[in-house]
């Protein structure tokens, strides 16, 4: 039995179906991310878990009992709000102690727990400050401490890092993961930032139009997306539409309109449709001045596409290229800048061969 089981939950606002018969199991101690574009229903789902919205149908089982109709203040679940929602009239200490006082904890125990929380989020010496005397990062920590203070069974985090700048966001991601591991608590985070979801979560649930379209580990989500939509939503991808022309021992030959005939490895589950898309991630497309000589003892076929570099974007760690093929289609390639000097760089206008292996290709049916 998972800690949290969401069973056929649906919620509409007027005619708009925000969450559509969604089911999901979350294990105790898991760091789970709900990822999706804005308006996909991820926040509504989180708010139903917190109790701010009531599902129209379905059940939400926490530790076996249905909490779908339980009011927010009676749930062993706490939420960290996107804008932190710190009480401006209370000090850091009183903000953290707020939930403990409501739980009827003894004064002495509250003091101990608050001190523990303050130490946990490294805010020693700030206890007497009001929220408007804190920086954005410090407010974020107070909000985290406040939501953790009651030791909820599940902590819900609504875009907890959206208001922080990039550097602070990255270090805070690490701290959140570390904290979650140390406390062994179940975290459910809502985010529209796929890098954030991939960095922190053990499993990611991708939502689109109120439905959960895939639940997978970050690696599987990226390397084996369940649909064309997910492949395009999570990271960059090159897509070529075509038809399956031949099939031979786990090797498909796909005739594409944009990139000629491509050899693709067929993974489980087998492809059933005739019309498919071949997808390849840009970092798996290599460029070279000449075609790699042969398949050079490789156990797999190599696809070669000749074209002209039309665009070079140097991004520091990687350089991304756009290569225009003779068919007019554009292939994106990104290559790591492993050397400081640019002996390997390609220039716009240069003729190159973009190549990738059959194993690196994905076949998507929709």
Partner 1 sequence: MASTATRLTRFNMTSLAAGLAFLYLPIGILVIYSFNASRLVTVWGGWSLRWYHEFFNDRAMLEAAWMSLSVAAVSATLATLLGTLAAVGLARGERFRGRALFSGMLYSPLVMPEVISGLSLLLLFVALNAERGFWTVTIAHTTLTMCFVTVVVQSRLTALDRSLEEAAMDLGCDPVRAFLLVTLPLILPAIIAGWMLAFTLSLDDVVIASFTTGPGSATLPIRIYSEVRLGVKPEINAICTLVIALIAVIIVIASFASKLSNARGESAAPL
Q: Which of 88, 269, 297, 316 binds partner 1 (CB under 8 A)?
A: 88
Which is nearer to partner 1, 52 or 314 (by Cβ)? 52
Dump strand ranges (E) for the chain. Answer: 4-13, 16-26, 31-35, 57-62, 65-66, 77-80, 154-158, 186-191, 203-208, 211-216, 238-248, 251-256, 260-265, 275-280, 286-288, 302-314, 318-325, 330-336, 351-357, 362-364
> At its nearest, how many Å lie between partner 1 and the CB of residue 136?
6
Residue 150 interacts with partner 1 (CB under 8 A): yes or no: yes
Residue 191 interacts with partner 1 (CB under 8 A): yes or no: no
The DSSP line for 161-190 is TTTS-HHHHHHHHHHHHHHHHHHT-EEEEE
Residue 103 interacts with partner 1 (CB under 8 A): yes or no: yes
Which is nearer to partner 1, 8 or 136 (by Cβ)? 136
> At its nearest, how many Å lie between partner 1 and the CB of residue 102?
3
Residue 13 interacts with partner 1 (CB under 8 A): yes or no: no
User: Measured between alpha carbons, how far is 249 from 136 in angstroms, rounded to an integer?
Assistant: 57
Interacting positions 126-145 with partner 1 (CB under 8 A): 130-132, 136, 139
Which is nearer to partner 1, 75 or 284 (by Cβ)? 75
Please say whether the beta carbons of 42 and 190 come within 8 A: yes
> At its nearest, how many Å lie between partner 1 and the CB of residue 50?
6
Contacts 24+ apart (CB under 8 A), 67-70: 68/9
Which is nearer to partner 1, 80 or 197 (by Cβ)? 80
Residue 78 interacts with partner 1 (CB under 8 A): yes or no: yes
Cα(first)–Cα(last) distance of the chain, in Å?
34
- Candidates 146-154, 253-261, 298-306, 342-350; binding stretch for partner 1 (CB under 8 A): 146-154
User: Measured between alpha carbons, how far is 318 from 270 in angstroms, rounded to an integer?
Assistant: 34
Closest CA to 100 of 61, 139, 150: 150
Please state the separation of Cα 185 from the chain's center in Å. Answer: 19
Residue 166 interacts with partner 1 (CB under 8 A): yes or no: no
Which is nearer to partner 1, 160 or 218 (by Cβ)? 160
132 secondary structure, DSSP code: G
Residue 71 interacts with partner 1 (CB under 8 A): yes or no: yes
Element (H, E) at 223: helix 218-223
Q: Which of 81, 151, 168, 239 binds partner 1 (CB under 8 A)?
A: 81
User: Measured between alpha carbons, how far is 275 from 39 in angstroms, rounded to an integer?
Assistant: 30
User: Measured between alpha carbons, how far is 193 from 366 in angstroms, rounded to an integer?
Assistant: 24
Residue 163 interacts with partner 1 (CB under 8 A): yes or no: yes
Which is nearer to partner 1, 25 or 94 (by Cβ)? 94
Q: Are strands 362-364 and 275-280 parallel, antiparallel or unpaired?
A: antiparallel
Question: Count H helices, E strands: the chain?
Answer: 8, 20
> At its nearest, how many Å lie between partner 1 and the CB of residue 36?
20
Which is nearer to partner 1, 6 or 100 (by Cβ)? 100
Residue 42 interacts with partner 1 (CB under 8 A): yes or no: no
Residue 55 interacts with partner 1 (CB under 8 A): yes or no: no
Q: Which of 50, 197, 207, 285 binds partner 1 (CB under 8 A)?
A: 50
Residue 347 has which token pair?
Answer: 């220039």
Contact footprint for partner 1 (CB under 8 A): 50-52, 71-73, 77-79, 81-89, 98-99, 102-103, 130-132, 136, 139, 146-147, 150, 163
């Amino acid at each position: 039995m998972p800690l949290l089981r969401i069973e056929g939950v649906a919620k509409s606002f007027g005619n708009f179906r925000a969450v559509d018969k969604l089911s999901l199991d979350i294990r105790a101690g898991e760091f789970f991310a709900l990822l999706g574009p804005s308006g996909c229903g991820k926040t509504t789902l989180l708010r139903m878990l917190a109790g701010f919205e009531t599902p129209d149908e379905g059940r939400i089982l926490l530790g076996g009992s249905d909490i779908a109709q339980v009011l927010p203040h009676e749930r062993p679940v706490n939420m960290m709000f996107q804008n932190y929602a710190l009480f401006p009239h209370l000090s850091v200490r009183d903000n953290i102690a707020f939930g403990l006082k409501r739980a009827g904890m003894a004064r002495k125990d509250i003091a101990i727990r608050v001190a523990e929380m303050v130490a946990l989020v490294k805010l020693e010496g700030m206890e007497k400050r009001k929220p408007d005397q804190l920086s954005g990062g410090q407010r974020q920590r107070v909000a985290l401490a406040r939501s953790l203070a009651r030791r909820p069974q599940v902590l819900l985090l609504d875009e907890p890092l959206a208001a922080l700048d990039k550097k602070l966001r990255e270090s805070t991601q690490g701290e959140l993961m570390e904290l979650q591991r140390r406390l062994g608590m179940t975290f459910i985070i809502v985010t529209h930032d796929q890098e954030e979801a991939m960095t922190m979560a053990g499993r990611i649930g991708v939502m689109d139009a109120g439905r959960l379209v895939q639940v997978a580990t970050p690696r599987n989500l990226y390397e084996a997306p369940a649909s064309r939509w997910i492949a395009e939503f999570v990271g960059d991808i090159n897509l070529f539409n075509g038809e399956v022309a031949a099939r031979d021992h786990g090797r498909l030959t796909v005739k594409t309109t944009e990139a000629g005939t491509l050899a693709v490895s067929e993974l489980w589950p087998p492809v059933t449709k005739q019309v498919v898309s071949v997808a390849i991630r840009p970092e798996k497309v290599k460029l070279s001045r000449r075609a790699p000589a042969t398949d050079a003892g490789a156990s797999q076929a190599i696809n070669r596409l000749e074209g002209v570099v039309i665009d070079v974007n140097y991004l520091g760690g990687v350089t991304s290229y756009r290569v225009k093929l003779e068919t007019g289609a554009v292939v994106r390639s990104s290559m790591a800048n492993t050397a400081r000097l640019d002996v390997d760089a390609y220039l716009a206008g240069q003729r190159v061969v973009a190549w990738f292996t059959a194993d690196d290709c994905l076949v998507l049916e929709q």
